[in-house]
Amino acid sequence: MECSIPKKVFAFIETKPDEDIYEICITLKDVRGAVFKTAKILSDAHVNLRTAVLFDAFEKGSLGCRTSFIDVSKAERDINQIEADLRSLDVVQDVKIVKPEPLIYDVIHFPIRYGDSAAMIMPLELFGSLLEEIENILTPSGFAAVFYGAGKRSGAHITELIEKKYGLTGEFVVSALIQSTQALGWGQLEDVKLDLNRPFCKVRIRKCFEAVLKGSRREAACHWTRGFISGFMSRVVGKPLEAVEVKCATGGGDVCEFEVCPKI
């Protein structure tokens, strides 16, 4: 089922001319009611919460961080009073407030983490310009081979990581793939039919990022994704498999279809 609620990355927000935006990070003790108490301070001060994220701060022990972009243009307390009120709470370990300028980027947090790994955020258009430059250097067949191989290696690596860290195997690993693909913005795996006995697999991906980037081309364009599926499924079944894109969204529609079978 296609998700109808887009998720915005916390790294940046657009603002209106009359807003007065601050970024605030509240380090909280892991106790019941901590988030409620801090939210009440902001609400009582008539602070407009533009966006927020709450996450564990494992490196700091039993603590969590609640980071928000807040608009204080109509607040009944100034920013220093708000900070003092928050620090007075017994559930608050620390408060950091910054006014991002000239644009409203997240200037408090670095590095970005994806699980245990360091990560980065790259807008799809920027990644597309990188692919286009590489494509201009290589022949079409060379580009397809390079990105298929890179995707295959990535798929095998991710599968090995899921198996070892979370103890999943077989169809459970495939379910994890469906979850992670959407969460990372690569596309939505809406239909995966896996036969471990043959072995054979059909995969349908809605709004695959490569097809979105390549637009109205007629030829199949999802070489990295095709390789990723091949590497992933090869690891799952324990045999070398190859993936073929039998339908690409660049030819119309928004669904790409892949078939995975034993390598000839």
Chain segment 160-174, per-residue pLDDT in tens:
999 999 999 888 998
d(CA 262, CA 243): 9
Average pLDDT, the chain: 91
> Is the CB of residue 205 less than 8 Å from the CB of residue 187?
yes
CA 31, 35, 38: angle at the middle one, nearest 5?
A: 115
Percent of the chain with pLDDT over 70: 95
d(CA 155, CA 152): 5
Cβ neighbours for 142, distance < 8 A, ≥ 6 positions apart: none
d(CA 198, CA 157): 23
**Domains of the chain as residue ranges with CATH:** 21-119 (3.30.70.260), 124-262 (3.30.1380.20)
| pTM (2 d.p.) | 0.83
Q: Which residue from 44, 71, 60 is spatially nearest to 94, judged by alpha carbons?
A: 60
Residue 7 confidence class, pLDDT cut points 50, 70, 90? confident
Q: What is the pLDDT of residue 198?
A: 84
219-244 mean pLDDT: 93
2 pLDDT higher than 60: no
Alpha helices in the chain (DSSP H): 34-44, 79-87, 124-137, 140-166, 171-183, 209-214, 223-237
Residue 4 confidence class, pLDDT cut points 50, 70, 90? low
Higher pLDDT, residue 219 or 3: 219
d(CA 211, CA 204): 13
Strands 92-98 and 117-119: unpaired
| 118-149 pLDDT, tens digit each | 899 999 999 999 988 998 999 989 999 999 99
Residue 216 confidence class, pLDDT cut points 50, 70, 90? low
d(CA 205, CA 43): 42
Q: What is the pLDDT of residue 220?
A: 81
d(CA 107, CA 11): 8
Q: What is the pLDDT of residue 59?
A: 62
| 79-124 pLDDT, tens digit each | 999 999 999 999 999 999 999 999 999 999 999 988 778 899 999 9
Higher pLDDT, residue 55 or 205: 205
Q: What is the pLDDT of residue 1?
A: 47
| 172-209 pLDDT, tens digit each | 998 998 899 999 999 999 878 888 788 899 999 999 99
ω into 100 cis (within 30 of 0): no
Q: What is the pLDDT of residue 58?
A: 59
Residue 219 confidence class, pLDDT cut points 50, 70, 90? confident
d(CA 84, CA 95): 9
